[in-house]
Amino acid sequence: MSDLSTFDANIPSNPKNSIFGLPFTEEEARLIVLPVPWEVTVSYGSGTSRSGEHIFNASMQVDLFDLESNNAWRQGIYMRHPDRKILMKSDYLRKEAELYINYISKGEQVEKNNFMCKSLKEINEGSVNLNKWVYEQTINLLNQGRLVALLGGDHSIPFGYLKAIAEKYADFGVLQIDAHCDLRKTYENFDHSHASIMYNALTEIPQISRLIQIGIRDYSEEEWNYICNSQRRVITYFDKEIKERLYEGQTWQTIVDEIVSQLPSHVYISFDVDGLDPKLCPHTGTPVNGGFEVEQVLYLVKKIMESGRRLIGFDLDEIAVGETSVDANVGARILWKLCNMLIASNPLPVTSKVAECATSM
C-alpha cells in the first residue's frame, strides 16, 4: 500500500501520478480502471475511443474528499494507459465501418460487393477479438482479487467483462443507465454493435438473472417485443414513465425503492452517459432529449448499497469530447464517485494489510 502520509490532496494534482493525481501503482491499488479505446460500431457521433486520455486530464481537477464512502479511494485507484494496439485497430476498423454504413444507407446490397463483404467480416471478427481481450484483462484482475472499472469506448465494450464477472458470480443483476435498450439482435449487420450489448449479454451469459434498464427513451419495436417476452428477466423504466410519475406527485425515492427491490443481491452497473440529460455530456455518440441528472443516478446507486446489495463492477461509456471539456469533466466526476462506491461496497476483511493501512491514514 502506498504511504499516504506525505500525500497532500490540497496542492495541484501531479499528472505523473495515476488518475485523479493519486500516488498508487497498479500493484498497490485495490481498484483498477481499464480504459478500452474502441468505437468501431458507433452509428452517429464518434470520439469516445479517446475518452480515457481526456478523462484522465479532467480528473486532475476532482476534489478527493469523499464523505459518503469514507474516502474509500485510500485503498488505491489506478488507471492503466489505453492500449495503443486496441486504439489503432479501432481507428482502422472505424474507417471501414464508416464506408460500410454509408454504402448500406443508400440501399445497396452488401452481398454484391466483395469489398463490403470483406469489411463486414473484418469488423465482426475485430469485435470478437476485442471481447476476448477485455475478458482476458478483466478475469486476470478479478483472479488477483482486484475490483475493476471499465472505461469506454462505445457501449459494446463490457461484454468480455460481463463474461469474466459471470465466472465469479452464479447470479447477478445488471443495472443499465441508458437512453437506448441495446437489445437489438444485430444493428447494421454488426454482431457486437453498441446497440446489441444487452441482447448479446442476456443471450450468452445465463448468470445475468435480471436486467433493469432506466431512462430508456429511444427504442425499436423489436426491443419492445423482447422486453415484453422476457418473462421479467428484463424490466425497463422508460424515461417517459419515470417523468410522468414524478409529474403526478411521486418522489424519486419511491421510484428508486421500487427499482432497488427488483435487483438481486449482486449488482453490476452499465452506465452509458447518453442516459443523462444531454446538456451534461452533449458530445456523446447518440444524444436523446430527456434523461437524468447525475445526482439522480448516484442517489440510486447509494440506495442500492444501503439496501445491503453489493456492487461487483461497472462500466462507463460513450463519453466523447468536443470543443469544450464539459463531457470529460462530468465523466471524471461520475467515474470518481462510482470508483469510491464500488470500493466501499466491497469492504476488506479486518485482517487485510490494505485495510489496516487504509484505516490508519
Paired residues of 211 in beta bridges: 174, 234
Q: Which residues pair with 148 in a beta bridge?
A: 32
For the record, the C-alpha cell of 106 comes out as: 443508400
Which position has the higher pLDDT, 14 or 133?
133
Judge whether residue 361 has pLDDT over 50: no
State the CATH number of the domain containing residue 120: 3.40.800.10
Q: Residue 83 falls within a domain, yes or no? A: yes
For residues 21, 25, 30, 34, the Cα torsion angle rounded to the nearest 10 degrees is: 80
Report the candidate in 33, 29, 36, 23 with the shortest Cα–Cα distance to residue 144.
29
- Please, which pLDDT band fits residue 229 given cuts at 50, 70 and 90? very high
Select the more confidently predicted residue: 185 or 8. 185
The domain total for the chain is 1
Dump strand ranges (E) for 104-207.
Answer: 147-152, 172-177
Query: Residue 45 has what pLDDT?
Result: 76
What mean pLDDT value characterizes the chain?
Answer: 93
d(CA 173, CA 22): 31
Q: Which residue has cell 419511491? A: 254
Is position 4 within any domain? Answer: no
- For residue 127, what are the β-bridge partners? none
The stretch 180-192 carries a mean pLDDT of 94
pLDDT at residue 209 is higher than 90: yes
* Per-residue pLDDT tens over the stretch 139-171: 999 999 999 999 999 999 999 999 999 999 999
Going by C-alpha positions, the residue among 329, 275, 312, 328 that lies closest to residue 297 is 275
User: Dihedral (C-alpha) 204, 206, 212, 218: value to the nearest 10 degrees?
Assistant: 20
Q: Average of pLDDT values for 78-102? A: 95
12 part of a folded domain? no
pLDDT tens per residue across span 259-312 = 999 999 999 999 999 999 999 999 998 999 999 999 999 999 999 999 999 999
Confidence at residue 359, expressed as pLDDT on a 0 to 100 scale: 46
User: pLDDT tens digits for 106-135?
Assistant: 888 888 899 999 999 999 999 999 999 999
| 84 vs 14, more confident | 84
pLDDT of residue 2: 64
Backbone angles phi, psi at 158, to 5 degrees: -80, 0
List Cα–Cα distances, 35 to 57, 67, 77, 149, 333, in angstroms. 14, 26, 13, 8, 16
Q: How far apart are CA 294 and CA 281, in angstroms?
A: 11
Decide if 349 is inside a domain.
yes
- Strand order in 310-317's β-sheet? 77-79, 31-36, 147-152, 310-317, 266-272, 172-177, 208-216, 234-238
Q: Where do we find the cell 485503498?
A: 75
Is position 6 within any domain? no
The alpha carbons of the chain give a radius of gyration, in whole angstroms, of 20
Q: Is residue 292 part of a domain?
A: yes
Any domain includes 200: yes
The position carrying cell 419515470 is 242
CA distance 254 to 90: 42
Is there a domain that residue 11 lies in?
no
The highest-confidence range among 38-47, 48-57, 320-329, by mean pLDDT, is 48-57
Residue-number span of the structural domain to which 337 is assigned: 19-360
pLDDT tens per residue, range 322-348 = 767 899 999 999 999 999 999 999 998
